[in-house]
Structure 1
Amino acid sequence: MKRFRRIMIVVAMVMASCTMASAQCSFRNTAFKSGEFLSYNLYYNWKFVWVKAGTASMYTVESTYKGKSAYRSSLTTRGNNKVDNMFVLRDTLLCYSSKELEPLYFRKGAREGKRYTVDEVFYSYPGGKPHLRCHRQRNDGSHLWKNLTPGNCVFDMMNIFMRARSFSSANWKKGHVVDFPIADGKGTTPARLRFNGTTKVKADNGKKYRCVELSYLEYEDRKWKEIVRFYVTDDQNHVPIRLDMFLKFGSAKAFLTSMKGVRNPISSLVK
């Protein structure tokens, strides 16, 4: 289940190649507005039986960061007491982005069993070029700091999610692949997105949606390994409806239970 927090990376990868081709780290927002709230049920496959493992929720509001207008978005995942004997999942993610969707700040606090770590990424743009200050607080309380000045725009899992929801995969063909780096407290990591086409998915709210299907892969042991397969609404909102997570010790799924305060009509709803 620890890979669940990575789902925002996956959702965010849509059209990531376009962001990396530009030196400008700003983008227009067409997908969300202040007050949007998304909630999910989490399920874990335990000895060939699917059990409800907990919930997740994401909330976005208008705020300020260092005196400037910004969006603040948070994601929380909570395992329930029934599965705490298998694993303990208590994750909280927070990000700030400018109104032009430039990354400003990212924080991830993750508790898995008895282990607790904190990742932070601080962004600045001296001379119009991105500069990252990455921070990792390890489980033993020690700290790791790293400064990066990449040649292109870099995004963490939350900020890229906020940005990429305004992208479009309309011109992608099945099998299309996009490579993309993601930042965390230790630095940047290579990842890959593969477009699998469109399909229909039923959410835990009892409704069915036309969705774009994509796979998120990471390079491990000299090969690309699928980590998450996810489905987002095939409309301007690009709301994640279902996520299939392939873990080291089993598999997990997440299904949307409700969406509130969305910006655009849900044209992907199947009647």
Structure 2
Amino acid sequence: MKLLKSFIVAILLFLVNTSVSAQCTFRNTAFKSGEFLTYNLYYNWKFVWVKAGTASMSVVQTTHKGKPAYRGSLVTRGNKRVDDFFVLRDTLLCYTGTDMAPMYFRKGAREGKRYTVDEVFYNYAGGNCNVNLHYQNKHGEHRWKKHSYDDCVFDMMNIFLRARSFDPANWKKGHSVKFPICDGGGRTPAQLKYGGKVTVKADNGIKYRCLRLEYQEYEDEKWKKIVDFYITDDENHIPVRLDMFLKFGSAKAFLVNAKGTRNPITSIVK
């Protein structure tokens, strides 16, 4: 009898310890290791859109702290022409498990004369989603915070990789997927809002049938738009266009080339 009770207790503890970790996992149907996407970057300067530089996204399979993982990155690089007016240097990096559970996030952002760093370190010990948050402000000062949640939290890059495998077949315009987002400053309510289907012409001259997704964060008791994603209406969900709403203006990125995609690109409009 004691043995049976001990066995039941062990099973319950196992279920508790894996509950949050399990809900943080997801299937990946959209990308594979070796995917590399390149973009032209445009910046709005005094109501005129000017070529501002380039951006790239990549995903490779690797390990993180000894565990199988995907490393995802988004890098933006402004050119010298625009640097005279506004310096834009953003580098976003994340590690996500091959089961799509977030592992790490870093954003290094140089916008204008400001350079800041946000980091999120994840672990799932004790059946919770535990995060260690780091923020470096423009003066080089560092701030650390620790939090433990009984639900799963994400960062901008990890939720983007996860969202590429969402199935929007039955979504109607206005449908939203809500989730908590973390950066070096803490936890914020966020959502992806579906804006319907549109045709987008990329900078490679090809037109794609796309799904429009608005990434929004909840600030000052209202939803604030951060990025509009236009992703291919096929199983890859490749970002064809990104509209980024920055603290010092706005920028756009248009797809130039896509290599190493997982699935056939069936969204091309001929």
TM-score (norm 2): 0.87
The 3 A distance-change label for structure 1 pair 233 and 141 is same
> Alpha-carbon deviations, 1:92-122, whole Å to 9, x = none?
1111111111111111111123321111111
**C-alpha distance in 2, partners of 1:102/1:219?**
23
> Alpha-carbon deviations, 1:118-160, whole Å to 9, x = none?
1111110113321111111222222111111122111111111
Gaps spanning 5+ residues in structure 2: where? 1-19
Is 1:122 aligned with 2:121?
yes
Q: Is the 8 A contact 2:198 2:210 kept in 1?
A: yes
Is 1:92 aligned with 2:58?
no
Q: Is the 8 A contact 2:190 2:218 kept in 1?
A: yes
State the Cα distance separating 1:34 from its structure 2 match.
0.7
1:258 is matched with 257
State the Cα distance separating 1:248 from its structure 2 match.
5.5
Bigger Cα Rg: 2
**C-alpha distance in 1, partners of 2:125/2:111?**
37
1:16 is matched with none
**C-alpha distance in 1, partners of 2:47/2:105?**
36
Q: Is the 8 A contact 1:23 1:153 kept in 2?
A: no
1:148 is matched with 147
1:209 is matched with 208
Q: Secondary structure at the match of 2:149?
A: coil
Matched residue type, 1:202: K
Number of residue pairs aligned between Structure 1 and Structure 2: 251
1:132 is matched with 131
TM-score (norm 1): 0.86
Is 1:103 aligned with 2:102?
yes
Gaps spanning 5+ residues in structure 1: where? 1-20
**C-alpha distance in 1, partners of 2:91/2:47?**
29
Q: Is the 8 A contact 1:71 1:99 kept in 2?
A: yes
Q: Is the 8 A contact 2:188 2:218 kept in 1?
A: no
State the Cα distance separating 1:247 from its structure 2 match.
4.6
Segments of 4+ moved more than 6 angstroms:
none
State the Cα distance separating 1:200 from its structure 2 match.
1.0
State the Cα distance separating 1:81 from its structure 2 match.
0.8
> Alpha-carbon deviations, 1:209-263, whole Å to 9, x = none?
1111122333344333333332100111111111223455543221001110000
Is 1:46 aligned with 2:45?
yes
